[in-house]
Protein backbone atom coordinates (compact mmCIF):
# COMPACT_ATOMS: atom_id res chain seq x y z
CA UNK A 1 0.00 0.00 0.00
CA UNK A 2 1.03 3.60 -0.65
CA UNK A 3 -0.34 5.79 2.10
CA UNK A 4 -0.07 9.44 3.15
CA UNK A 5 -0.67 10.17 6.84
CA UNK A 6 -2.05 13.60 7.74
CA UNK A 7 -3.25 15.25 10.94
CA UNK A 8 -2.55 18.26 13.13
CA UNK A 9 0.49 18.48 15.42
CA UNK A 10 -0.19 16.35 18.50
CA UNK A 11 -2.40 13.87 16.62
CA UNK A 12 0.13 11.08 17.23
CA UNK A 13 1.22 10.73 13.59
CA UNK A 14 4.74 9.52 14.41
CA UNK A 15 3.48 6.86 16.82
CA UNK A 16 0.75 5.64 14.47
CA UNK A 17 3.07 5.70 11.45
CA UNK A 18 5.52 3.36 13.19
CA UNK A 19 2.78 0.87 14.17
CA UNK A 20 1.01 0.98 10.80
CA UNK A 21 4.22 0.62 8.79
CA UNK A 22 5.13 -2.45 10.86
CA UNK A 23 1.63 -3.98 10.53
CA UNK A 24 1.55 -3.33 6.77
CA UNK A 25 5.21 -4.34 6.23
CA UNK A 26 6.06 -1.10 4.40
CA UNK A 27 8.72 1.53 5.22
CA UNK A 28 7.77 4.56 7.32
CA UNK A 29 9.12 7.63 5.50
CA UNK A 30 9.10 10.74 7.69
CA UNK A 31 10.28 14.20 6.65
CA UNK A 32 12.43 14.46 9.79
CA UNK A 33 14.22 11.18 9.00
CA UNK A 34 14.73 12.27 5.36
CA UNK A 35 16.43 15.49 6.45
CA UNK A 36 18.58 13.79 9.07
CA UNK A 37 19.70 11.02 6.66
CA UNK A 38 20.54 13.40 3.80
CA UNK A 39 22.39 15.84 6.06
CA UNK A 40 24.37 13.12 7.89
CA UNK A 41 25.29 11.44 4.57
CA UNK A 42 26.28 14.77 3.03
CA UNK A 43 24.13 14.27 -0.08
CA UNK A 44 23.80 17.27 -2.45
CA UNK A 45 20.19 17.72 -1.28
CA UNK A 46 21.28 17.42 2.35
CA UNK A 47 23.95 20.08 1.84
CA UNK A 48 21.38 22.40 0.24
CA UNK A 49 18.92 21.82 3.09
CA UNK A 50 21.62 22.53 5.67
CA UNK A 51 22.50 25.84 4.00
CA UNK A 52 18.92 27.05 4.33
CA UNK A 53 18.58 25.74 7.88
CA UNK A 54 21.81 27.44 8.99
CA UNK A 55 20.50 30.69 7.56
CA UNK A 56 17.31 30.22 9.58
CA UNK A 57 15.24 29.85 6.41
CA UNK A 58 12.62 27.29 5.40
CA UNK A 59 13.92 24.52 3.15
CA UNK A 60 12.33 25.06 -0.31
CA UNK A 61 9.75 22.57 -1.58
CA UNK A 62 11.98 21.33 -4.42
CA UNK A 63 14.64 20.15 -1.94
CA UNK A 64 12.09 18.28 0.21
CA UNK A 65 10.44 16.83 -2.90
CA UNK A 66 13.84 15.67 -4.21
CA UNK A 67 14.62 13.88 -0.93
CA UNK A 68 11.20 12.21 -0.86
CA UNK A 69 11.52 11.10 -4.49
CA UNK A 70 14.95 9.53 -3.86
CA UNK A 71 13.64 7.70 -0.79
CA UNK A 72 10.51 6.37 -2.52
CA UNK A 73 12.70 4.92 -5.26
CA UNK A 74 14.74 2.79 -2.82
CA UNK A 75 14.22 -1.00 -3.18
CA UNK A 76 12.43 -1.38 0.19
CA UNK A 77 9.70 1.02 -0.99
CA UNK A 78 9.03 -0.84 -4.24
CA UNK A 79 5.85 -2.43 -2.86
CA UNK A 80 4.60 0.51 -0.83
CA UNK A 81 5.38 3.12 1.80
CA UNK A 82 3.79 5.28 4.46
CA UNK A 83 4.55 9.00 4.13
CA UNK A 84 4.52 11.03 7.37
CA UNK A 85 5.02 14.82 7.09
CA UNK A 86 5.11 14.78 3.29
CA UNK A 87 3.36 16.24 1.38
CA UNK A 88 3.03 19.28 3.65
CA UNK A 89 1.32 21.61 1.17
CA UNK A 90 -0.46 21.61 -2.21
CA UNK A 91 2.72 22.09 -4.25
CA UNK A 92 4.24 18.99 -2.62
CA UNK A 93 1.00 16.99 -3.10
CA UNK A 94 0.96 17.83 -6.81
CA UNK A 95 4.65 16.93 -7.10
CA UNK A 96 4.01 13.58 -5.38
CA UNK A 97 1.25 12.82 -7.90
CA UNK A 98 3.70 13.56 -10.71
CA UNK A 99 6.42 11.33 -9.23
CA UNK A 100 4.02 8.40 -8.85
CA UNK A 101 2.41 8.92 -12.26
CA UNK A 102 5.83 8.78 -13.93
CA UNK A 103 6.18 5.21 -12.61
CA UNK A 104 2.54 4.27 -13.30
CA UNK A 105 1.80 4.23 -9.57
CA UNK A 106 -0.80 5.92 -7.40
CA UNK A 107 -1.70 6.39 -3.76
CA UNK A 108 -4.03 3.88 -2.12
CA UNK A 109 -5.22 6.10 0.71
CA UNK A 110 -4.73 9.33 2.64
CA UNK A 111 -5.31 8.60 6.33
CA UNK A 112 -6.53 11.71 8.15
CA UNK A 113 -6.11 11.57 11.94
CA UNK A 114 -8.77 13.81 13.44
CA UNK A 115 -8.29 15.45 16.85
CA UNK A 116 -10.23 18.42 18.31
CA UNK A 117 -8.10 21.56 18.57
CA UNK A 118 -8.49 21.86 22.35
CA UNK A 119 -7.25 18.27 22.74
CA UNK A 120 -4.19 19.05 20.58
CA UNK A 121 -3.36 22.01 22.84
CA UNK A 122 -3.90 19.89 25.96
CA UNK A 123 -1.70 17.06 24.62
CA UNK A 124 1.25 19.23 23.61
CA UNK A 125 1.11 21.99 26.24
CA UNK A 126 0.92 19.37 29.01
CA UNK A 127 4.12 17.61 27.89
CA UNK A 128 7.07 17.73 30.29
CA UNK A 129 10.64 16.68 29.38
CA UNK A 130 13.48 15.62 31.68
CA UNK A 131 16.56 17.89 31.53
CA UNK A 132 18.87 14.93 32.25
CA UNK A 133 17.39 12.59 29.63
CA UNK A 134 15.04 13.84 26.90
CA UNK A 135 13.67 10.31 26.36
CA UNK A 136 11.99 10.58 29.79
CA UNK A 137 8.70 12.29 28.91
CA UNK A 138 5.74 12.93 31.20
CA UNK A 139 2.41 14.69 30.88
CA UNK A 140 0.78 17.02 33.40
CA UNK A 141 -2.63 15.32 32.85
CA UNK A 142 -2.16 11.93 31.16
CA UNK A 143 1.11 10.74 32.71
CA UNK A 144 2.03 12.95 35.68
CA UNK A 145 5.24 12.28 37.67
CA UNK A 146 4.88 11.10 41.28
CA UNK A 147 6.45 14.37 42.44
CA UNK A 148 5.61 17.49 40.47
CA UNK A 149 8.58 18.76 38.43
CA UNK A 150 10.75 15.69 39.17
CA UNK A 151 11.48 12.79 36.78
CA UNK A 152 10.34 9.43 38.21
CA UNK A 153 13.15 7.62 36.36
CA UNK A 154 16.28 9.60 37.18
CA UNK A 155 15.27 12.49 39.46
CA UNK A 156 16.05 15.11 36.83
CA UNK A 157 14.16 18.38 36.60
CA UNK A 158 11.08 18.31 34.36
CA UNK A 159 10.41 21.32 32.14
CA UNK A 160 8.13 22.47 29.34
CA UNK A 161 9.89 23.01 25.99
CA UNK A 162 9.48 26.50 24.55
CA UNK A 163 7.75 25.15 21.44
CA UNK A 164 5.28 23.22 23.62
CA UNK A 165 3.74 26.38 25.12
CA UNK A 166 0.04 26.95 24.39
CA UNK A 167 0.79 30.09 22.36
CA UNK A 168 3.31 28.24 20.14
CA UNK A 169 0.98 25.25 19.72
CA UNK A 170 -1.84 27.53 18.53
CA UNK A 171 0.56 29.16 16.03
CA UNK A 172 1.57 25.69 14.74
CA UNK A 173 -2.12 24.86 14.33
CA UNK A 174 -2.64 28.05 12.29
CA UNK A 175 0.19 26.97 9.96
CA UNK A 176 -1.37 23.49 9.70
CA UNK A 177 -4.79 24.96 8.81
CA UNK A 178 -3.40 27.31 6.16
CA UNK A 179 -0.70 25.07 4.61
CA UNK A 180 -1.50 21.41 5.17
CA UNK A 181 -5.29 21.20 5.53
CA UNK A 182 -5.88 22.18 1.86
CA UNK A 183 -4.22 18.90 0.78
CA UNK A 184 -7.07 17.00 2.48
CA UNK A 185 -9.59 18.64 0.11
CA UNK A 186 -7.19 18.00 -2.79
CA UNK A 187 -7.13 14.27 -1.97
CA UNK A 188 -10.87 14.17 -1.16
CA UNK A 189 -11.49 15.20 -4.76
CA UNK A 190 -9.56 12.06 -5.75
CA UNK A 191 -11.62 9.90 -3.38
CA UNK A 192 -8.56 8.94 -1.32
CA UNK A 193 -9.26 10.36 2.14
CA UNK A 194 -10.15 8.10 5.05
CA UNK A 195 -10.79 10.03 8.28
CA UNK A 196 -10.57 8.40 11.70
CA UNK A 197 -10.65 9.72 15.26
CA UNK A 198 -7.20 9.79 16.87
CA UNK A 199 -8.70 9.92 20.37
CA UNK A 200 -8.22 7.02 22.77
CA UNK A 201 -5.41 4.55 23.42
CA UNK A 202 -2.66 4.11 20.82
CA UNK A 203 -3.67 0.50 20.11
CA UNK A 204 -7.33 1.54 19.61
CA UNK A 205 -6.33 4.22 17.09
CA UNK A 206 -4.12 1.70 15.24
CA UNK A 207 -6.99 -0.83 15.08
CA UNK A 208 -9.31 1.92 13.80
CA UNK A 209 -6.75 2.89 11.14
CA UNK A 210 -6.20 -0.71 9.99
CA UNK A 211 -9.96 -1.26 9.72
CA UNK A 212 -10.37 2.00 7.74
CA UNK A 213 -7.64 0.85 5.36
CA UNK A 214 -9.40 -2.49 4.95
CA UNK A 215 -6.58 -4.40 6.67
CA UNK A 216 -8.15 -5.34 10.03
Q: Is 213 annotated as a binding residue?
A: no
Annotated catalytic, 172? yes
Instruction: Name the catalytic one among 106, 131, 161, 171.
Output: 161
Instruction: Name the catalytic one among 2, 13, 48, 122.
Output: 13
Annotated catalytic, 13? yes
Pairing of strands 81-84, 28-30: parallel
Q: Is 168 annotated as a binding residue?
A: no
Annotated catalytic, 215? no
Q: Is 161 annotated as a binding residue?
A: yes
**HSE-CB for 69 with a 13 A CA cutoff:** 19
Annotated catalytic, 123? no
- Separation of alpha carbons 192 and 6, rounded Å: 12
Instruction: Name the catalytic one among 48, 127, 128, 208.
Output: 127
Q: Is 10 annotated as a binding residue?
A: yes
Annotated catalytic, 208? no
Q: Which residues contact 180 (CB under 8 A, 6 or more apart)?
A: 6, 88, 89
Q: Is 81 annotated as a binding residue?
A: no
Dmax (CA) for the chain in angstroms is 57
Binding-site residues for ATP, in ranges, read 10-15, 127, 137-138, 200
Active site residues: 13, 88, 127, 161, 172
Amino acid sequence: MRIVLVGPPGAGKGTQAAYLAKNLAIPHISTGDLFRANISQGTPLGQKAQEYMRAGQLVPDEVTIGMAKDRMQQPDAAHGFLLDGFPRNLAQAEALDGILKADDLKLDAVLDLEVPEDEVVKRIAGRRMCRKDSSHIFHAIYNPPKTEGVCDTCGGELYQREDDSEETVRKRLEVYHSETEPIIDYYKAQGLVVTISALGKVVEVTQRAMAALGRD
